[in-house]
Structure 1
Amino acid sequence: MKSTLGDLNNHLFAQLERLSDEEIKGDDLLEEIGRAKAVTSIATQIINNGNLVLQAQKFHTEFKSKDLEKPKMLEG
């Protein structure tokens, strides 16, 4: 399974729609809120990881030399 930041964006909006459903009440709403918190936590880590990869790529591009190997996670 390959996911993108676009997929993450779609999941976040889908979660927002579920939270906005006025038909969900009581325990079902509490369960959905818990799910939303979990999704938010994971999404935050994915975004942080993406930012780290972007910073590493910028650093690699700026200081590119024969002695500097590109990290494996940035390879193709």
Structure 2
Amino acid sequence: MKNKLSDLNNHLFAQIERLSDEDLKAEDIDREARRGEAIVAVADQIIRNARLQIDAARLASEYGSDPTPYLPQIEGKRQ
């Protein structure tokens, strides 16, 4: 899997678009709402993991180490 943090916005906005489809029937809305809840739960964990990596990089930097290895990858590169 080669997803990047930047892909997360695309997935979240795609789900919003599906939920805002005015042609959805009640059953479809329920299914999309459940899917949306699952996506949000996974997205939350991805964000928490990225935050942990950033905190580790900050701590390494404060103690004089190179923070780069601890930073999350964005667009296939380290920032």
Q: In the alignment, which residue of structure 2 is the partner of 1:7?
A: 7
1:43-62 deviation digits (Å, cap 9, x = unpaired): 01100110010000010011
Structure 1 segment 23-38 matched on structure 2, within 5 A: 23-38=23-38
For structure 1, the 5+ residue unaligned runs are none
**Structure with the higher strand share, 1 or 2:** 2
Q: In the alignment, which residue of structure 2 is the partner of 1:57?
A: 57
For structure 2, the 5+ residue unaligned runs are 72-77
Higher RCO (C-alpha under 8 Å, 6+ residues apart)? 2
Q: In the alignment, which residue of structure 1 is the partner of 2:43?
A: 43
Q: Percent identity at matched positions?
A: 46
Aligned structure 1 segments of 4 or more residues deviating by more than 3 angstroms: none
Aligned length: 70
Residue identity matched to 1:7: D
Question: What TM-score results when the alignment is normalised by the length of structure 2?
Answer: 0.79
Task: Report the structure number with the largest CA radius of gyration.
Answer: 1
Residues 1:74 and 2:70 are matched in the alignment: yes
**Structure with the higher helix share, 1 or 2:** 1
Q: CA RMSD in A?
A: 1.9
C-alpha distance in 2 between matches for 1:42 and 1:25 = 26
1:5 CA drift (Å): 1.4
